[in-house]
Structure 1
């Protein structure tokens, strides 16, 4: 979960295969020229997605020759190479011996290769003919011909399925190395891994590494103007010191946070601490960090300086914690050490300026590297060396300014570029005089860059500033208004090429980000046009419509995909909700929260939702009945075991009544089921009232056709049966719930039903059936990224181990579960597990010392190690073999 080097012990025997998550699926790199085979590429993509694999393609912008660094990085992250060839060999860049098409093949020597050639071919390029001949002569590639896109899709789907089956069978051989379980995590503070090397900062990196690891400075602030390279430097240092912080190196991005009160939320999100609304978030964070030697890399702190005391409080509560903070200004708290990040070194202009001396300067080295990313044949020569030096000097060595200027080298030679820069910066020099000198340079460079855009491209850039954290292509196309004619995609390509917008790989969907400094500029210009409010409303409306679509998708077969998709958009989701709240449009605020209920639950965000809905209820405005019903549900159902008589039971009772008045059967049923849970949590539960509410809830869910709700109601009815010691009745309820979730192909509901089936079978004296149920439930929760489900799964296996009197295994698993709950803030949540009573005989018996020692050791297991320890290898092998047969 953290950006660290985990020391994972190998499980005895064969460990289970990797469980991959929506953003960690097997990646299939598809190589082809983009001037032909468009239908075939669409067919290939569809075939790959049908197998729930991730296609890696260069569809966006359809560049005939993407930068070599880009497709090299994509290849490094891919697992299978698929080559599609017909007649064209592709463009050969100046100074290169082969086309990008052949270069992609050459850069993937170790990947399994599936090669498909379209026939007939009337005029195949000589270069492609030679490449195909070379491929035929190797023995590491499958080689097939096709004639239609449909035939290609069938071939790819069949070949990939066969390849995966063969790979899996090889993994079952006794000599195969053990593999670890990869657990999905919606929020992680993993440090970004830039595609390019850090240039010209060797001295700074060495000094900072020393300060963090040898001098043990616990709060180190990197200061400097925007665009000077603070974030890039901090990320590189964080990656360098990972082994010195066994508790993890975590990246906290505050670029979209402007309220100091939300800093704990951002830190919790990075640490994976869930805000379930069951206790103060700061308490959860300090508990998670209390005994860990960890490093927080906190970026863009200048916009939340009032939260500096929050950092001081965390440092005081966690004595092994260290923080590396980037900020344009000092934090001014005790214990702060500062490091000013200056510009890159400049070349010297002399009477006889030579190439070697100019390239020896850090600013010129960065400029040339970024220039070659867009123009691979760019060289510094005796003819242009003075112009290159003057560019670096004019931009004062500010890295972001150099990158923005270098992006123009593809169409402007250095002499023209410096001439335009000289005129542009001189023209802009009169503005923004209240900014520091280098900030003026960067701002002027950004403005100069935008002056090179067409009006429609500039309008798009300004509107993109409304997005928080990043945006998908679909969102940009919906939210941004462009003049008739050019598509957003066409305009966006220019902004990417100009380095004003950056493209990221997010699995199946193109995803984009804007640097904080560029976003600030864009929002300011949007406000100057008087369009900020209008753009904000289009943004909020888009995500409200998305939430309505997500509501339908989150309880079905694409649940994991949509959880990952919404996780990418979480900053935009918060921004949309904030828009509705700030504009006192309570109905939209409540509906938006209600539509995404399952996402908030799985991601551990219900605590935030409760705060939002408290704001709705405390507004003093007259609320529509449905809005009040939804808000009351969130404020009551999240913590139904707290303040039952004073607030929860009356609130949920009113929520059910209001839902009923609006003829919202599902809403009423949810409120009734939560009300039953609250009643059951009382010191003296009223079983008759709870059962009546549950019976009515099940009936309402059936009338509404809400299978997911019905399945959850059956789980609750099964728990009532367990309280009555009716094991057969509980088994029937949990079995019915599982049948409903399987029918829906709902992962979360399936995991919950299986967990309860595991316990009822264990209580019935059938540990083998119980183990199989816990196994599948834990694996699903790990794949889904439902950390609470993973904790429950580990506790289920605690019960299995305790039943067989395996004190060591029971202790290790319990320690791992306790550690997971502490580190993710789930320790206060109402528990739906029976492990405490299962281990009590061990605690009271002669093996207590063995159990407690193992329990302490379990606290040190990584999450992946704990899951690998829990899952029985034999069951995993059988399940995986069955899944592979189903896939084929």
Structure 2
């Protein structure tokens, strides 16, 4: 039918002695002619005739539109992409939206049907969702626009998931296959072989696509002997029912547009094999996620993180399935496998929400190893996004189950996590106790990574106790183990933690080197959380060096990273550094309120940050000439520091109280306190930060001017004989 139709359009007089092909080829001969053939997919048998015609007519060009590739010599394929889409998670102004082709088409067609229709701030969110749900497909958008006459964009969007019959047209000028979205897709589906139809609907089970391995395991298991997987997938791609792109590792990945997938899932349900395919789908990904869990702390963790991000929609699909059927065991297996991925890739809020809902479905008496590990993972995510103190109950539930079941691996893990979170609450003795117990069990189990975590926890405790050399050495042990086992992220984390300690030890250049190396490693892992920590440490380093502008800018850079990662404690750290910089620059605007807010939040999120905040409040009071208030803040800070044993802050506070005592005319007390702070700095190996050098120079000059040499030396020696608690008694 194709060649006679071409002859008819070209008005060729048919020679009865010649075949149609010969007449057509003779007519075209060496003429320069362009033939346009539309919707060729329903006459694919004629493709070989076109191939022959092209071979006979050297100057002939044919432009063909088809949902199926013709596979003839000299064919150049130009896929027609869907229209560019707005971004769901980005703010778009009305002007920006009007320039996006998918939105343009929807709005233009809607106005043609309803002239009063306008794109507004009220309906733009619904318009964005409609365009995204319909994949930017022109036909789907035109059919949706037709419904704007009855439904508002908001109402249409609510009804759109996925109601194929809603997207239809009654236009007399529209071919039947284009009158509904279902007809349009069904037209392509009807052109598939029975085997291709089976594979197509099975592939619709994937969310966000799949690689060849997944497709073979889930969809091709019945056909391995008589169907080639590559040819079958390529065939569906050539027929425009499957899309193909390149993964991060260069491997092909196959996916369906949402409109096509919804149609495929509809067909899958009608086929009565949905449960079978879903079981295979879940089994494949549970196996994959278990393997991922084992590799997220090893040498290949970067590749596994990228793979999990690629499979994120499939992970969400399985969790939705599990939650919908109250299959807590399946859901918890998934969350336990991927919680670390969620934390690293800034999805901790989402992960915590999944775990919260699944755990709420579990029986109250559920005391299994899986439940123990799930509570432990949930505790870590909960501690990052919520109240640290409230997370203790979650961890203690996990701890109770681990002890009851004598589950050594789970026990060691939860003890390490408790050892970590208790330091935020200034409970350093408990932190040390749990970390040491975890260390002992991890050594029994031969778990090198677990041992490195225990060393890290003990290093943190030592740091806050002011034991800088001990802390640095413990971090070094943790770093060495992590390097040996190939825990790239852990190695970078240890580097940054050492950089943090090096600041207090006055090793600013070395600290900068370590953060630079850490940032280089973490950037490759797309680890927002630890990148935020690295920038925060570098901002602190710059602050200690007295480079306030640079420190302030870096602290500001770190804040959105902390917010993205969902980590409240880190966000507060960055804000404290930023406000300390502003204090030193004498920028007091709104500072009192901001410090008060930080004080309230730190009491809820991380009490360990209170000392820096109260110190800043004392400085602000001093700068505003309220020396009595500054004295009270400093005195209260020192009392609190001594109560919890957080001596990393002792020297700074003693020196500030020394200055304030001098202002109060208590020069002897001031000198003794300053002397005590001086010897304590030497003992703790915490030299005076560069940012405080001028303050110390001025304070020392004033103290010297108040006494003769003999009196000064006597009081200095008396101060060196005191400890911090004795100094506190001087202030009563």
Show the 5 A alignment for 1:140-289.
Answer: 212-213=95-96, 223=106
What's 2:298 paired with? 556
Q: What displacement does 1:739 show?
A: 0.8
Task: Give the total of aligned pairs.
Answer: 473
**3-state SS, counterpart of residue 329 of structure 2:** helix
The answer to whether the aligner puts 1:668 opposite 2:400 as a matched pair is no
What's 1:703 paired with? 444
CA distance, structure 2, for counterparts of residue 329 and residue 704 of structure 1: 64
Q: Match for 1:608 among 350, 360, 368?
A: 350
What's 1:593 paired with? 335
TM-aligned CA distance change 1:223 to 1:699, over 3 Å = farther
CA distance, structure 1, for counterparts of residue 165 and residue 547 of structure 2: 72
Show the 5 A alignment for 1:66-77.
Answer: none
Indicate conservation of the 8 Å contact 2:248/2:306, yes or no. no
The answer to whether the aligner puts 1:467 opposite 2:467 as a matched pair is no
TM-aligned CA distance change 1:457 to 1:832, over 3 Å = same
**3-state SS, counterpart of residue 568 of structure 2:** coil
TM-aligned CA distance change 1:453 to 1:846, over 3 Å = closer
Deviations 1:156-183 (A, max 9, x none): xxxxxxxxxxxxxxxxxxxxxxxxxxxx
The answer to whether the aligner puts 1:577 opposite 2:319 as a matched pair is yes
Q: Which is higher, the Rg of structure 1 or of structure 2?
A: 2
Q: Let me know the Cα RMSD of the aligned residues.
A: 4.3
Higher strand share: 1
TM-aligned CA distance change 1:821 to 1:632, over 3 Å = closer
TM-aligned CA distance change 1:197 to 1:516, over 3 Å = closer
Q: Match for 2:168 among 436, 440, 465?
A: 436
Show the 5 A alignment for 1:821-840.
Answer: 821-822=562-563, 824=564, 826=566, 829-831=568-570
**3-state SS, counterpart of residue 504 of structure 1:** strand
Indicate conservation of the 8 Å contact 2:342/2:348, yes or no. yes
Q: What displacement does 1:211 show?
A: 6.0
Indicate conservation of the 8 Å contact 2:368/2:401, yes or no. yes
TM-aligned CA distance change 1:433 to 1:576, over 3 Å = closer
Show the 5 A alignment for 1:307-456.
Answer: 436-437=168-169, 440-456=179-195
Q: What displacement does 1:664 show?
A: 3.9
Q: Match for 1:817 among 546, 558, 582?
A: 558
Q: Match for 1:845 among 556, 581, 584?
A: 584
The answer to whether the aligner puts 1:736 opposite 2:496 as a matched pair is no
CA distance, structure 2, for counterparts of residue 711 and residue 694 of structure 1: 11
What's 2:43 paired with? none
TM-aligned CA distance change 1:844 to 1:651, over 3 Å = closer
Q: What displacement does 1:783 show?
A: 1.4
TM-aligned CA distance change 1:200 to 1:706, over 3 Å = closer
Q: What displacement does 1:519 show?
A: 1.1
Deviations 1:32-59 (A, max 9, x none): xxxxxxxxxxxxxxxxxxxxxxxxxxxx
Indicate conservation of the 8 Å contact 1:751/1:780, yes or no. yes
Q: What displacement does 1:593 show?
A: 1.2
TM-aligned CA distance change 1:620 to 1:548, over 3 Å = closer
CA distance, structure 2, for counterparts of residue 197 and residue 500 of structure 1: 13
CA distance, structure 2, for counterparts of residue 470 and residue 681 of structure 1: 41
What's 2:397 paired with? 654
Deviations 1:286-306 (A, max 9, x none): xxxxxxxxx978743589xxx
Q: What displacement does 1:801 show?
A: 1.9
What's 1:516 paired with? 258
Q: What displacement does 1:796 show?
A: 1.9
CA distance, structure 1, for counterparts of residue 78 and residue 556 of structure 2: 39
Deviations 1:207-243 (A, max 9, x none): xx996259899x9796499xx99xxxxxxxxxxxxxx
CA distance, structure 1, for counterparts of residue 383 and residue 411 of structure 2: 16
TM-aligned CA distance change 1:561 to 1:537, over 3 Å = same
Q: What displacement does 1:623 show?
A: 2.8
Deviations 1:442-492 (A, max 9, x none): 433432322332222111101000001111111111111433421332311
What's 1:617 paired with? 359
What's 2:378 paired with? 635
CA distance, structure 2, for counterparts of residue 786 and residue 752 of structure 1: 11
Indicate conservation of the 8 Å contact 1:759/1:834, yes or no. no
CA distance, structure 1, for counterparts of residue 151 and residue 443 of structure 2: 58
CA distance, structure 1, for counterparts of residue 246 and residue 359 of structure 2: 40
Indicate conservation of the 8 Å contact 2:482/2:491, yes or no. yes
Indicate conservation of the 8 Å contact 1:478/1:542, yes or no. yes
CA distance, structure 2, for counterparts of residue 96 and residue 671 of structure 1: 77
Q: TM-score, normalization: structure 2?
A: 0.57
Q: Match for 2:435 among 690, 694, 698?
A: 694
Q: TM-score, normalization: structure 1?
A: 0.48
Indicate conservation of the 8 Å contact 2:208/2:255, yes or no. yes
Q: What displacement does 1:200 show?
A: 11
The answer to whether the aligner puts 1:791 opposite 2:532 as a matched pair is yes
Task: Extract unaligned runs of 5+ from structure 1.
Answer: 1-92, 98-193, 202-208, 230-250, 253-262, 264-294, 304-325, 340-431, 853-888
**3-state SS, counterpart of residue 490 of structure 1:** helix
**3-state SS, counterpart of residue 361 of structure 2:** coil
CA distance, structure 2, for counterparts of residue 687 and residue 200 of structure 1: 58
Deviations 1:691-737 (A, max 9, x none): 11111112223333333333233222111111111101110111111
Indicate conservation of the 8 Å contact 2:345/2:565, yes or no. no
Task: Extract unaligned runs of 5+ from structure 2.
Answer: 1-53, 59-76, 85-91, 111-123, 136-143, 158-163, 592-732
TM-aligned CA distance change 1:198 to 1:529, over 3 Å = closer
TM-aligned CA distance change 1:222 to 1:215, over 3 Å = closer
Q: Match for 1:547 among 285, 289, 295?
A: 289
Q: Match for 2:217 among 449, 465, 478?
A: 478
Q: What displacement does 1:95 show?
A: 11
Q: What displacement does 1:802 show?
A: 1.8
CA distance, structure 2, for counterparts of residue 328 and residue 796 of structure 1: 56
CA distance, structure 2, for counterparts of residue 525 and residue 461 of structure 1: 9
CA distance, structure 2, for counterparts of residue 797 and residue 332 of structure 1: 58
Q: What displacement does 1:619 show?
A: 1.9
Greater relative CO (CA pairs within 8 A, separation 6+): 1
Indicate conservation of the 8 Å contact 2:297/2:487, yes or no. yes
Deviations 1:805-847 (A, max 9, x none): 222222221222224444x264x52229966666666433357
What's 2:132 paired with? 300
The answer to whether the aligner puts 1:776 opposite 2:510 as a matched pair is no
